[in-house]
A and B are shown apart, each in its own frame.
Chain A
């Protein structure tokens, strides 16, 4: 057991060093493209860490987290577009290009939206929970598609990347470091949650709701809080993703995106601290390496996913580190 834990820690440290080291090396070698690739990894990992709070810790298979990813993206896109045009947003609220403000708005909005979605969805479980979260996400997706003010189906372009105090975000490396800092904070949040009494109650709620009620804790409330926190983190990732691509489109909120986030977690190892990071690295590298050779690169990703599900239930990190409590 102890050997397994320390092996996972070693793997985590290696992943963290890779994530920091490779972009620095790429800049030194004059290959900034790889920095953008790494930023994509970091942001997808952040979105998946959000989902991992609900899915990995709480066993809540949300098939609608792309909705929050998309919402976060649209917050960045909408606030920045209005700011660029010197306009206010709805009801005369000021627009902004400041990332910290955008992040705050994205996180709060996603929390507010996740609250009713969670409160309704969590009355169901199993396959019904999956379907109802999907249904909510599709509502948000079609809302974005049918809102011509913000590009509708064509999406919304940001003219320049938003600003962060003291950082030149237009450059790939500084923006990467900003995203990496946010990811590190999310990893800490996940670690704190998992180790807390709340985390134990969430794990208990995943295992048996009746037993948890019998000690006087309402499983519904615990799961709802987890769902809301989870959505907030994924929404923050959405805002960063919009700035990375300087583009937001309804596809960020599509069900394919929700599926991708689940795939990242399953690949890396669900419930594991660095699981989403390992998953995002493999996913983006597959997309990059095989995507250049064939349009059907997802076929090979599918094979790999099949292999992980059949032979490595703990994900890629599970292969390295052995079983965790969640496997």
Chain B
């Protein structure tokens, strides 16, 4: 049984349909890449998983339980940790407060997060809105980890960051993968994403059009589905 499984998910923003039938699975311990051009439904898919958009059709199961229709906080409590698009920390809380407010479970502690991101450890007392963009992204990842998620979901975690910071974040993701963390990741940097991913899903116009190993995503397919 898959850790996360979406079948035929359809979602709307008001009257306009954004997802027309998304299928997606993530197995335990797997890193799965969710890809597609802008506007194809990646973020909507993630919002549907987290209950921020209520799917109108299809099923979403997490750890064997139907989660579609539950309120967001209940879904998160099942063990889903989201790193939202755009480095969304709580700006008026300190780094430490940002992390501790999310704390649940015992595997991930403040010390373990600052071990993964030493820069956060140096800035525990600083307000989040005084951090650089890269540090805020690390904080957003750290905050999601503090909930001890069975599945970590990253939405465009490296977008708009300096290359050197991106390297740090990819390195952290590789460490998490080695530690057996299940991850669903949305990103545009294929050169980093494909080597770390176990499987890929590609969305086009709100429908899953490709599922398979990264190697199976040939240059031709990349051009067709992901080329600009």
How far is it, in angstroms, between the C-alpha of A200 and the C-alpha of B128 when the chains are bound? 13
Shortest Cβ distance from residue B194 to the other chain A in the assembled complex, whole angstroms? 27
| Chain B stretch 45-65: residues in CB contact (< 8 A) with chain A | 50-52
| Given A215-B147, A216-B77, A218-B73; A197-B84 close (CB under 8 Å) | no
| Given A197-B100, A197-B101, A325-B127; A217-B91 close (CB under 8 Å) | no
* Inter-chain contacts of B104 with A (CB < 8 A): 215-216
* Inter-chain contacts of A217 with B (CB < 8 A): 73, 101-102
Set B74, B97, B101: member contacting A215, Cβ < 8 A: B101
Complex: chain A residue closest to B130, CB-CB: A1
Q: Chain B 89-110, CB within 8 Å of chain A: the 1/0 string?
A: 0111100011011111000000
| Given A203-B90, A204-B90, A325-B92; A210-B72 close (CB under 8 Å) | yes
How far is it, in angstroms, between the C-alpha of A218 and the C-alpha of B70 when the chains are bound? 12
B92/A326 in contact, CB under 8 A: yes
**Does B71 belong to the interface (CB within 8 Å)?**
yes
Secondary structure at the A interface, as helix, strand, loop or mixed, is helix
Max chain A Cβ within 10 angstroms of own Cβ: one of B72, B93, B104, B146? B72
Chain A's interface size range is: 10 to 19
B92/A215 in contact, CB under 8 A: no
**Does B112 belong to the interface (CB within 8 Å)?**
no
Shortest Cβ distance from residue B69 to the other chain A in the assembled complex, whole angstroms? 14
Complex: chain A residue closest to B92, CB-CB: A325
**Does A256 belong to the interface (CB within 8 Å)?**
no
A213/B71 in contact, CB under 8 A: yes
| Chain A stretch 287-327: residues in CB contact (< 8 A) with chain B | 325-326
How far is it, in angstroms, between the C-alpha of A20 and the C-alpha of B74 when the chains are bound? 48
Chain B's interface size range is: 20 to 34
B91/A216 in contact, CB under 8 A: no
**Does B82 belong to the interface (CB within 8 Å)?**
yes
**Does A9 belong to the interface (CB within 8 Å)?**
no
How far is it, in angstroms, between the C-alpha of A210 and the C-alpha of B90 when the chains are bound? 11
**Does A201 belong to the interface (CB within 8 Å)?**
yes
* Inter-chain contacts of A10 with B (CB < 8 A): none
**Does B150 belong to the interface (CB within 8 Å)?**
no
**Does A207 belong to the interface (CB within 8 Å)?**
yes
| Given A203-B90, A325-B127, A326-B92; A214-B101 close (CB under 8 Å) | no
Complex: chain A residue closest to B97, CB-CB: A200
**Does B76 belong to the interface (CB within 8 Å)?**
yes
B71/A207 in contact, CB under 8 A: no
Set A203, A210, A214: member contacting B92, Cβ < 8 A: A203
* Inter-chain contacts of B77 with A (CB < 8 A): 216
| Given A201-B101, A216-B102; A208-B90 close (CB under 8 Å) | yes
How far is it, in angstroms, between the C-alpha of A203 and the C-alpha of B92 when the chains are bound? 8
Complex: chain B residue closest to A195, CB-CB: B97
Shortest Cβ distance from residue B153 to the other chain A in the assembled complex, whole angstroms? 9
Shortest Cβ distance from residue B4 to the other chain A in the assembled complex, whole angstroms? 16
* Inter-chain contacts of A212 with B (CB < 8 A): 73, 101
* Inter-chain contacts of A204 with B (CB < 8 A): 90, 93, 101
**Does B199 belong to the interface (CB within 8 Å)?**
no
| Given A201-B101, A203-B93, A208-B88; A215-B52 close (CB under 8 Å) | no
A215/B91 in contact, CB under 8 A: no
Complex: chain B residue closest to A209, CB-CB: B72
* Inter-chain contacts of A214 with B (CB < 8 A): 50, 52, 72, 76, 82, 84, 144
**Does B143 belong to the interface (CB within 8 Å)?**
yes
* Inter-chain contacts of A216 with B (CB < 8 A): 73, 76-77, 102, 104, 147
Set B91, B102, B103, B143: member contacting A207, Cβ < 8 A: B91
* Inter-chain contacts of B147 with A (CB < 8 A): 215-216
* Inter-chain contacts of B102 with A (CB < 8 A): 215-217
Shortest Cβ distance from residue B146 to the other chain A in the assembled complex, whole angstroms? 8
Shortest Cβ distance from residue A191 to the other chain B in the assembled complex, whole angstroms? 15
* Inter-chain contacts of B51 with A (CB < 8 A): 213
Task: List chain A positions with a Cβ less than 8 A from chain B.
Answer: 197, 200-201, 203-204, 207-208, 210-219, 325-326
* 8 A-B pairs with least C-beta separation: A213-B72, A216-B76, A215-B102, A200-B97, A200-B101, A216-B77, A218-B73, A213-B73
13 A-B pairs with CB atoms under 8 Å apart are A197-B101, A200-B93, A200-B101, A201-B101, A203-B90, A208-B90, A210-B52, A213-B76, A214-B144, A215-B147, A217-B101, A218-B73, A325-B92
